[in-house]
Amino acid sequence: MTNISNRDNQDIKLLPEDVSNQIAAGEVVERPSSVVKELIENSIDAGATEIIVDIQNGGRNLIITDNGSGISPDQVKLAFRRFATSKIQNESDLWNLSTMGFRGEALASVASIAKVEMKTRRRQDSQGTKITIHGNVITSIEPVGTGYGTTITIEDLFYNTPARLKFLKSDSTEVNHITELLQAYALSYSNISFSVINKSRETIRTPGNSDIEDTVRIIYGKEVSDNTAKVDYSSSYGKVKGIVSKPTYSRGDKQKQVFFINNRWVKVPFITKMLDEIYSDLLPSHRHPVVVLNIEIPSQELDVNVHPTKKEVRFQNYSSVYELVYRGIINALYPSRNEDNPNKEADNNIVSIEYVKPLEPYTPTNVYPERRNDNFSSGNVSSNTNRYASAPKEGTYQVQQFSFYDELREYRNHEDNREDLESIKPIGRIYELYIIGYLGNDLCFIDQHLAHERYLYEQLELDVKSKQELLTTIMIHLSEPEWENYNENRILFEQYGYEIQDFGSKTIILRSIPSVLEVSEAENVFRQVLQEMINEEGRKKALDKLTHIKKTIACKAAIKAGKHLDMEEIKILTIGPAGVGVTVTR
C-alpha cells in the first residue's frame, strides 16, 4: 500500500519510455477516432492528395494509406520515438506553425497501445521500409517493396490497456465518431480525396477537386448542397471560406457545424453562439444551420498548444475573429448588404428577375387572404384589384432592393424621386411575411419583421427612458453568471426603462420594463439580453453595449414573420421608420 511515509522513502526515477508513452497515449488517444485523427493529420502534413481509411472492428483495427512524402529508411525508427518530430525545431516555431503535428508524440503514443505496422517509401528511394512495433517494442524492421507514400496498419488497439478497452462504446458509436471526423476533414480539405471503407464497404469517397460545393454534396447530400450560400470573405485580419446553409434548410441539431482554424479542426463555442444569434430570426426555434468554415488568421494570433488533443485553441484577439467570421456569414446570407462587393456600384443594387407565370390565376384572393375586417382593404384594394386584373406580362422586370433604412431615405430624398416623399401606402400582405404597398408609382414589399425591428430600435433611440410600470411585478431568479453580468450592467438596464429591485439570493424584481416590450415577453427578453452579454466577453470592448442592448431588445420584441398584423400595425410599420427590407418593382 502506498502511504505518505512510504512515498517519502522512494527515490525519484525517470519512468521507462514505454510507461511514459502509455501515459501520454492516455491523453492523446481517447478512442479509435483519435488514432484516425493523428494518422490522417500526419498524412496531410506529408502533402498527401489521397488518403484511404479502412475501418474494421469499430476502429480497433485500422489501415490508413496515403500518397504523401514517405519517410527515409534511416528515420523510420525515430518517427516512433517520443518528442521526435520533423515539424518544429525550437520554441519560436510553435508560434509559426504550418503543420498540424508539432509534438512528436502521436506515433509513439499509438505504438504504445496497439500493434502497429508501417510501410513507407519516399519518391527518391528505390525501395521502402517496413517496421512492426508491438506495445512500443520494435519487433522487426526491414526493406520492403511498396508504393510511394505511407501505409499504417493498427491492430488490437488498447490490447494492453484493458481499462481503456472497457470504456469503448459500441462498434457503431465508435465508427460514427470516426465518420464525423473524416467528414469534417474531407469538407475542409476539399483538395484531398478521402476514401473511407467500413467493414469492406466504401462509405465515403470525395473527389479532391478543391470544390467545396461538390464535397458538401457528397458528404451531406444534395438537399444540403442545393441550399447553401458560399462564404468567401477576407479582411486585413484574415480570411474565411466555406458554406452556410440558407434559411431554406435547417436541422434539429448542431452536428453539421464544422470549424477549421488555420487548418485545424476545433470547437469554437463563441462562433457556435454567433450562429445561433444570426439564425435566430431566420429559422424557427430549435432549428440550426449547416456550416463549414475554414478560417485563416495570422498564426501568431492562435495558441494551439492548449490541450493534448489540440481540439481547443486560444485567440489573442477574440473580437477580430468574431468580426471576420460574422461579416463572412452575413455577406454570404445577404449578398446585397455586402459593402465590399465590387459589383455593387456598377449594378446600383438593381437586379433583373424573370417574371414567372403564376401557376394559378393571379387574383386578389391569392394576394390578400385576410382582407376581412379592415376598411382600408375594402377601399384601396378594390381599386388596386383593377391593376392586377391586367396581370403583368411575362418578361424581365427590374427590382430595386433596399436593405437599409438609410438607403431608402436617400432614395426618397433624391430629386427624381420626389413623388415618393409621401409614405408607402400599404395595400395588403403576402403570406404573413411581407407588407405590400405603393411607393409613388412603384410597388414595394416590406419584410415585416425587419421593419418592426427597425421601428422599435428607433423608438428606443427617441425615447430611451420610456417605460411601462407593471401592474404585476415579475420576479426572476438569476444564475451566477447572469447575476454577475446584471450587476455589472445595472445602470444600462435602468437607462432603457427597466426599474429593478433586488430581492436577495440573486433574485430580482422587475417593476417596470421598456415600453416597447410586451409584458408576456419581459422575462424572456431580459434573460436573453443578459445571456447575450455573457456570451460576448470578447466583443464587449469592441461593440458599443448600448447599441447592442437596443438591437437585442428591438429584435427580440419585433414581430416575427408569420404573425398576423392588423391594419393599424401595418400603417405604423410603413410610415416613417419603416423601410428595412423594402423591395421596389417598376
Ligand X SMILES: Nc1ncnc2c1ncn2[C@@H]1O[C@H](COP(=O)(O)OP(=O)(O)OP(=O)(O)O)[C@@H](O)[C@H]1O
Position among 77, 87, 239, 337 found at the interface with ligand X (CB under 6 A): 87
Closest C-alpha among 165, 188, 157 to residue 36: 157
Q: Which of 178, 33, 38, 182 is nearest to 108 (CA)?
A: 38
308 touching Mg ion, by CB under 5 A: no
Calpha distance 395→181 (Å, rounded): 49
Nearer to Mg ion among residue 106 and residue 187 (C-beta): 106
Residue 87 CB, shortest distance to ligand X, in Å, is 4
C-alpha cell at 289: 444551420
- Asked if 107 interacts with ligand X (CB under 6 A), we say yes
Output the nine-digit C-alpha cell for 58: 469499430
User: How buried is 231 (Cβ within 10 angstroms: 0-12 exposed, 13-18 middle, 19+ buried)?
Assistant: buried
Measured between alpha carbons, how far is 125 from 11 in angstroms, rounded to an integer?
48
Between CA 61 and CA 155 the distance in angstroms is 5
Q: Is 42 in the site for Mg ion (CB under 5 A)?
A: yes
* CB-CB contact of 129 with 71 (8 Å): yes
Where in 314-343 is the site for Mg ion (CB under 5 A)? none
Size of the site for ligand X (CB under 6 A): 23
Give me 560's grid cell: 416575427
Query: Which residue's C-beta sits nearest to Mg ion?
Result: 101
Q: Which does 227 bind (CB under 5 to 8 A by kind): ligand X, Mg ion, none?
A: none
Q: How far is the CB of 196 from ligand X (least distance, A)?
A: 17
According to the binding rule CB under 5 A, does residue 476 interact with Mg ion?
no
H or E stretch covering 297: none
Q: Contact with ligand X (CB under 6 A): which of 24, 36, 46, 181?
A: 46
Least distance (Å) between residue 90 CB and ligand X: 14
Task: Specify the length of the chain in residues.
Answer: 586
Rounded Cα gap, residues 525 and 345, in angstroms: 39
Residue 85 binds to Mg ion (criterion: CB under 5 A): no
Shortest distance, CB of residue 103 to Mg ion, whole angstroms? 7
The residue range among 78-86, 166-174, 256-264, 314-322 that interacts with ligand X, by the rule CB under 6 A, is 78-86
Q: How far is CA 416 from the centre of its chain?
A: 43
Could you tell me if 368 and 417 are in contact, meaning their C-beta atoms sit under 8 angstroms apart? no
Task: Decide if residue 262 touches ligand X (CB under 6 A).
Answer: no
Q: Are residues 23 and 109 in contact, defined by beta-carbon separation less than 8 angstroms?
A: no
Burial 41-79 (b: 16+ CB within 10 A, else e): bbbbbbebeebbbbbbebbbbbbbbbbbbbbebeebeeb
Cβ nearer to Mg ion, comparing 62 with 533: 62
Asked if 121 touches ligand X (CB under 6 A), the answer is no
In the complex with ligand X, the residue whose CB is nearer, 95 or 102, is 102
- On whether the CB atoms of residues 161 and 113 are closer than 8 A, the answer is yes
Does 69 engage in binding with ligand X (CB under 6 A)?
yes
Q: Which residues of 464-480 are buried (b: 16+ CB within 10 A; e: fewer)?
A: eeebeeeeeeeebebee
* Residue selected from 26, 104, 207, 247 as contacting ligand X according to rule CB under 6 A: 104
Site for Mg ion, residues 90 to 109, rule: CB under 5 A: 101, 106
Q: Between 71 and 460, name the residue whose CB sits nearer to ligand X.
A: 71
Judged by beta carbon, residue 117 or residue 232, the one nearer Mg ion is 117
Q: What is the DSSP letter of 582?
A: E
In whole angstroms, what separates CA 514 from the centre of its chain? 32
Nearer to ligand X, 102 or 159 (CB): 102
In the set 20, 26, 49, 102, which binds ligand X (CB under 6 A)? 102
Q: Shortest approach of ligand X to residue 397 CB, angstroms?
A: 58
What CA–CA distance (Å, rounded) separates 501 from 528?
19
Asked whether position 377 contacts ligand X by CB under 6 A, the answer is no
Work out what residue 105 binds among ligand X, Mg ion, none; the CB cut-off runs from 5 to 8 Å by kind: ligand X
Q: Which is nearer to ligand X, 86 or 280 (CB)?
A: 86
Q: Which of 541, 551, 477 shows the shortest CA–CA distance to 508?
A: 477
**Which amino acid type is present at position 399?**
V
Does the footprint of ligand X cover residue 43 (CB under 6 A)?
yes
DSSP 251: B
| Interface positions, 136-155, toward ligand X (CB under 6 A) | 150
Q: Any contact of residue 42 with ligand X (CB under 6 A)? A: yes
Asked if 263 is part of the footprint of Mg ion (rule: CB under 5 A), the reply reads no
Count of residues interacting with Mg ion (CB under 5 A): 3
Q: Which of residues 117-156 bind Mg ion (CB under 5 A)?
A: none
Stretch near ligand X under the rule CB under 6 A, chosen from 61-69, 249-257, 348-356, 386-394: 61-69
Chain residue at closest Cβ approach to ligand X:
101
Amino acid at 403: S
Which residues make up the interface to ligand X (CB under 6 A)?
38, 42-43, 46, 66, 68-71, 79, 84-87, 101-108, 150
Which residues make up the interface to Mg ion (CB under 5 A)?
42, 101, 106
